[in-house]
Structure 1
Amino acid sequence: MSQPRIFGSVDELRAAVGEQLGWTAWQEVDQKQVDLFAEATGDHQWIHVDPEKAALGPFGGTIAHGYLTLSLIPSLTPQLFTVEGVRMGVNYGVNKVRFPAPVPTGSRVRATAVVDDVSEVGGGFQLVTRVTIEREGGDKPVCVAETVARFYL
């Protein structure tokens, strides 16, 4: 894991466009987390929550929901960067998301991000980052998302 990059101004963020911001620590995605996500969302598809049936399925066991993998981003990105001198930051949306590979339950994942764009918006600025989550031992990313955050001064 690299140290989080600290951005103290919009100009520092603009200067970082195109830069990769290191890697987070590895984080395990276990069956309990998958089951809790299924409860929270109502998505109880067997490939996620039925280990016996999933063992006979295409992945040889249960896998995390794609949206569970996506939902890890807010807990992972603070390990990559922080923005100082703002009143608050909010998730504004996602422009594009792909799940190129599954996350077998019990896998460890980590993330990296690239600053794609910084633009001014009323009262602050908008930051677009391309976040890539990979699985330990995997050959393809498990999630690639172009996230949009707004920071208010």
Structure 2
Amino acid sequence: MNAAPAEPFEEFRAKMFATGADEFAEFRSQPTTSTSTSTLLSKPRQLMRRFLRLAPGPIQYARAAPVIAEAPHDELHVTLPLPGAHAEDVHVTLHAAELLVSNEATHATRTITLPSAVLPDASAAFKDGKLSVTLHKCSSPLDSDMHSIMVR
């Protein structure tokens, strides 16, 4: 039976230096003179991936929260950022007062609880990494069946 680490990040340090090489040395080097966006963003992304790979325990990426806005004519507008997703991989399903959004490419699924009951005649559009869903509110849920919403 393994003893608990003396300090919280002892396991992390042990993993990090197990190879004898400094996993993060390249990130402490002098900055490059390139100013392209992809170059500027690649180092922090690489650093985060490496850190998450070495960190002990489950670490989940923070996800952007969906925006649910009430609109005139008893409509709800749900906007959800899905960076890196493609329209053909995004599937939206309505089940009672829950919106299920799945990305086939990443096998990720999000469930969004809606503030009121809605009709199954909803529309969805995906553009520039954002999913926008328009739903029509109703006074009581009509059924508990699942309804697929076509993403344009």
> Shorter-chain TM-score category?
under 0.3
Task: Please give the TM-score of this superposition, normalised by the length of structure 2.
Answer: 0.26
Higher Cα Rg, which structure:
2
The higher relative CO (CA closer than 8 Å, separation ≥ 6) is in 1
More helix by share: 1
More strand by share: 1
Task: Please give the TM-score of this superposition, normalised by the length of structure 1.
Answer: 0.25
